Structure 1
């Protein structure tokens, strides 16, 4: 498939098949997991944990891929770059993301590691704890960049989790150079506070030298700047990036741009599963931004999409997002 002549968003991230199952806190403790975090595991640990988990739901996932699927559901023209293997799970991922309306030109990895999977335990309070075997994702590098898609996309959206595989950081810088040379914008999400801790200096350098837009939750932005107070992190991020989109769970979000800061309330919703909440928020924000909407409205779209994501089990949208973001006639 040739690259489209124009895209609103091009995501680059880990191509992962998610396996979601319910679990209690005792299960997490027994398997030495940090509740609410993501840890990287090897193939052997993935097999052991998969055998110990209860009945699960398998679906295509990955943080940036989830964002791409939700943005496509909002009507955006979307592409995704990420590495799967030439195996059954790889075929499942490719089918699912194409069915979501996302252009996926990356060729599969032949003869290497299998397609990545993320084993996600959801506790009764809706918190998700993730255990990721990266598999074929580790092979993603500069050679997998689709230059035509990078030039075609208004916004290239980079997944912070992809800082873990060694070749990907170089690919991110190469992607940023191509996008900026074409007059496009580059966004990055910090993904996880433990990921930030692993790559703090690299994230800061990328933010200051390459990124136009940052997505982070409160824990991630405090970890990036090593500060206790959210307000201190807000003050520091102003000088590092044009737009910072900072989510705070039930407290809503703050969009920081220059001297301006817009507070966006969270949408009231019963929390079932927080998996993909940040991914969905980014999708709503970027889909609105690609349409040229004002930053507070971009934040509202993000809040609506995040509320839909946490209202059900699993990360991909199940309701009509375009109908949900349409302004109420009573406003």
Structure 2
């Protein structure tokens, strides 16, 4: 049986550790932000690796969401994931992690580059992400078009990519969105980071894909960055979500659902110009361990409920639960089984 949910993105090994303000200042990092590494950031990875509390965790935004969806579903063969890794120990670690989690990993392996890594710098329970894509940057649409991978794509009911994949293989996202348009499956994307919407060529890809996008996820910062980039002259997240929900759909697709999370504040969902707010699970400050992966976990829980035929309200509830569990753990990790039935 073909997996119901397919994720396509940038597989990364998270190198995660607590740091001081001095580290943030040294590398120009901002809490809650996500950036691509430049030359000046390269020493950061070795610095984190040398820390006694360093953790190595399977990461990458899309891969996080797919692993969480599989965890929420607790059924074999429900999820698959596509991306590019290197032929090295980090790549092997990611392959093992997917296997243990029950995710079907259809990695492209590129021996010419190391597996991508993400420096997860945690300061006062907030995280900043600095990504060195390496092999993840080398994914090619030709891999997706191989018969066995195309079969996984065409058999999926839901396909999801974080916006970060726009920087790597927009051609693959185009193929996937068109496949869902043809099959009637749901194509889902995430704004993912302010730079995705601020850099004109990346935003152009997002806007090209939007008519085929059934579910668009993001957080309030990313939504506001989009509005600023396109000159909407507003920071009203509800208004921004409404505008994005009204971009015309391709073919006979139903109306797009725009889902904007706001941390501890209610999640905003805009459909056909109408906004509904859904509460999120509240935690005390003492319960928080780190916010890394919270948005990814929300999407994972949401997609797990969606594939079970649940409505937006139930999907938001499942997403909120998943996020509330992940932020009580270091990185995008969770207990053996969820205390939640979809």
Fold-level similarity (TM above 0.5): yes
Tell me which stretches of 4 or more aligned residues in structure 1 moved more than 6 Å: none
Q: 1:61 and 1:220 mapped to 2: Cα distance?
A: 20
The residue number in structure 1 matching 2:58 is 60
2:283 paired with 1:264: no
Cα distance, 1:61 vs structure 2 = 0.5
- Of residues 13, 16, 22 in structure 2, which corresponds to 1:17? 13
The residue number in structure 1 matching 2:214 is 212
The residue number in structure 2 matching 1:228 is 235
The residue number in structure 2 matching 1:94 is 95
The residue number in structure 1 matching 2:28 is 32
Cα distance, 1:229 vs structure 2 = 1.6
- Of residues 255, 258, 278 in structure 2, which corresponds to 1:244? 258
Q: 1:57 and 1:318 mapped to 2: Cα distance?
A: 16
The residue number in structure 2 matching 1:136 is 135
Cα distance, 1:118 vs structure 2 = 0.3
The residue number in structure 1 matching 2:331 is 314
Instruction: Report SS of the residue matched to 1:36.
Output: coil
Instruction: Report SS of the residue matched to 1:66.
Output: helix
Cα distance, 1:231 vs structure 2 = 2.4
Instruction: Report SS of the residue matched to 1:131.
Output: strand
The residue number in structure 2 matching 1:329 is none
Cα distance, 1:222 vs structure 2 = 1.7
Cα distance, 1:319 vs structure 2 = 5.4
- Assess if the C-alpha contact under 8 Å between 2:238 and 2:270 holds in 1: no
The residue number in structure 1 matching 2:308 is 291
Cα distance, 1:161 vs structure 2 = 0.6
Q: 2:87 and 2:40 mapped to 1: Cα distance?
A: 22
- Residues 95-131 of structure 1 deviation map (CA, whole Å, 9 limit, x = unaligned): 1011100011223113x1110000110111x111111
- Residues 29-80 of structure 1 deviation map (CA, whole Å, 9 limit, x = unaligned): 12222232112125x6565112323331001111010111110011161000
- Assess if the C-alpha contact under 8 Å between 1:9 and 1:155 holds in 2: yes
Q: 2:81 and 2:212 mapped to 1: Cα distance?
A: 20
The residue number in structure 1 matching 2:151 is 148
Q: 2:26 and 2:341 mapped to 1: Cα distance?
A: 41
Instruction: Report SS of the residue matched to 1:262.
Output: strand
User: Structure 1 319/256 Cα, relative in aligned 2: closer, same or farther at 3 Å?
Assistant: farther
Q: 2:153 and 2:55 mapped to 1: Cα distance?
A: 33
- Of residues 42, 49, 61 in structure 1, which corresponds to 2:44? 49
Match runs of 1:47-126 below 5 Å: 47-53=42-48, 54-55=51-52, 56-75=54-73, 77-110=78-111, 112-124=112-124, 126=125
Q: 1:196 and 1:244 mapped to 2: Cα distance?
A: 15
Q: 2:311 and 2:45 mapped to 1: Cα distance?
A: 44
Name stretches of at least 5 consecutive residues in structure 1 with no aligned partner. 327-331
- Assess if the C-alpha contact under 8 Å between 1:81 and 1:144 holds in 2: no
Q: 1:319 and 1:222 mapped to 2: Cα distance?
A: 36
Instruction: Report SS of the residue matched to 2:84.
Output: coil
Q: 1:294 and 1:35 mapped to 2: Cα distance?
A: 33
RMSD: 1.7
- Assess if the C-alpha contact under 8 Å between 1:308 and 1:319 holds in 2: no
Q: 2:225 and 2:143 mapped to 1: Cα distance?
A: 30
The residue number in structure 2 matching 1:177 is 178
Cα distance, 1:318 vs structure 2 = 2.5
Q: 1:147 and 1:180 mapped to 2: Cα distance?
A: 15
Q: 1:296 and 1:254 mapped to 2: Cα distance?
A: 11
Q: 2:311 and 2:274 mapped to 1: Cα distance?
A: 12
Instruction: Report SS of the residue matched to 1:324.
Output: coil
Q: 2:302 and 2:194 mapped to 1: Cα distance?
A: 21
